[in-house]
Amino acid sequence: MSLRAPLARALHHGSAHDGVGHWLVQRVTATALAPLAIWLLIALLSLPSSDYTTVTRWIGAGLHPVLLALVVLIGAWHAWLGVQVVIEDYVHGFLAKTLALLASVFVHVLVAAGGLYALLRIALVSHA
Amino acid sequence: MAERPLSPFITVYRWSYTMTLSILHRITGVALALALLGLVAWLLSASRGADAYATFTPLLLSIPGKLLVVLAMAALIYHCCNGLRHLAWDMGWGFERVEARRSAALVVIVTLIAAALCLYALFRSGTGGA
């Protein structure tokens, strides 16, 4: 039995007041990703060939690096938010959950950074 | 934390096919997180020059590789269509049972047709496609 007042026990254990932010950002990134996903799918399927020259030329051409960077960045952002909810729902135990959430953040940031680096390299170096 | 009451889990509800679509949204979402990892690996290989590209891309163009790519594309189409359904619900549209079931059927039909087109596009020739 605790001697602490009910209010003191409740404080700092409730909503962190950023749940709506998470929900909203998930929807905003989803809205941005829908047209990007359709573009990427059609673009990949209509590549005339999958050889190195064709692919790197296509990646570096016009607005393609920008659109691909948006796919990678917004995709990683959206995936991070989604995977976070899945981990919170299915991974139990404080330590396992915390480690999984931490690993997820690191992997998603790594994906975003790696994708951006690859796109810059192709657009600025290989293509030239 | 441990002794907190849990909300009724899905096993207490009568199954309806909209529930399958709901869990598929999560499954395809996690699959797409992995697919993004694959896409970035492919971009990185392309950025390292023709040799690096030539070690990774043939894996994607093998029969199992192409099937994996088609599955990823199907997951993308499904997650995209069902995601639009979720966005519509968030705006308060289509939440009635009849409407939700009709939009569910539409998502399944669109996914199947688009996935079949992806399958055709990737396998129509030895070299074409992604």
Query: Which residues in chain B have their CB less than 8 angstroms from residue A92's CB?
Result: none
Residues of B in contact with A111 (CB under 8 A): 36-37, 40
Tokens of B125: 């020739």
Q: What mean pLDDT comes out for the span A91-120?
A: 97
- Is the model's pLDDT at B128 over the cut of 60? no
Report the range of poorest mean pLDDT among A18-27, A104-113, B32-41: A18-27
Q: What is the mean pLDDT of chain B?
A: 89
Count CB-CB contacts under 10 A for residue B76. 24
Non-local (6+) Cβ contacts of B47 within 8 A are A117, A118, A119, A121, A122, A125, A126
pLDDT at position B88, please? 94
Chain B contact probe: residue of A52, A87, A89 with most B CBs at under 10 A: A52
Residue B2 pLDDT: 62
The answer, yes or no, to whether residue A18 has pLDDT greater than 90, is: no
Integer CA distances (angstroms), B103 to A21, B17, B25, B100, in order: 27, 12, 14, 5
Closest by CA position to A123, among listed A84, A72, A86: A72
Number of inter-chain CB pairs under 8 A, A vs B: 105
For residue A8, what are its two tokens? 């003191």
Angle at A75 between CA B120 and CA A18, to 5 degrees: 145
Helix B17-47, helix B50-61: angle, nearest 10: 150
Query: Residue B70: pLDDT above 90?
Result: yes
* Cβ-contact A50, B58 below 8 angstroms: no
pLDDT, tens digit (0-9, with 9 covering 90-100), for A39-56: 999 999 999 999 999 999
Residue, of B7 and A48, whose pLDDT is higher: A48
Tell me the C-alpha distance between B71 and B126, whole Å.
Answer: 18
Which residue out of A28, A38, A41, A92 would a mutagenesis test of the B interface target, given it has the greatest number of B Cβ atoms within 10 Å? Answer: A41
* The pLDDT of residue B1 is above 60: no
Residue A17 has pLDDT above 80, yes or no: no
Hey, are the CB atoms on A31 and B47 less than 8 Å from each other?
Answer: no
Cβ within 8 Å, pair B43-A59: yes
Residues of A in contact with B7 (CB under 8 A): none
For B44, the closest of A30, A38, A114 (CB atoms) is A114
Averaged pLDDT, A107-126 = 94
- C-alpha B130/C-alpha A92 separation (Å) is 39
| Overall average pLDDT of the A23-47 stretch | 95
Q: What is the pLDDT of residue B114?
A: 96
Residues of A in contact with B29 (CB under 8 A): 79, 82-83, 86
CA distance B97 to chain A (A): 23
Query: What band does B130 get if pLDDT is binned at 50, 70 and 90?
Result: very low
- The C-alpha atoms of residue A35 and residue A70 are separated, in whole angstroms, by 11
Q: State yes or no: pLDDT of B28 exceeds 80.
A: yes
More confident residue, A123 or B124: A123
- Confidence class of residue B129 from pLDDT cuts 50, 70 and 90? very low
Are residues A112 and B43 in contact, defined by beta-carbon separation less than 8 angstroms? no
pLDDT for position A4? 76
| Contact yes or no for A72 and B121 at CB 8 A | no
Q: Inter-chain contact B128–A44, Cβ cutoff 8 Å?
A: no
State percent of chain A over pLDDT 90: 77
B33 to A79: CB separation less than 8 angstroms, yes or no: yes
Q: Do A122 and B47 touch (CB under 8 A)?
A: yes
pLDDT above 80 for B4? no
Amino acid at site B91: M
pLDDT of A24 over the 80 cut? yes
Confidence of residue A5 (pLDDT cuts 50, 70, 90): confident
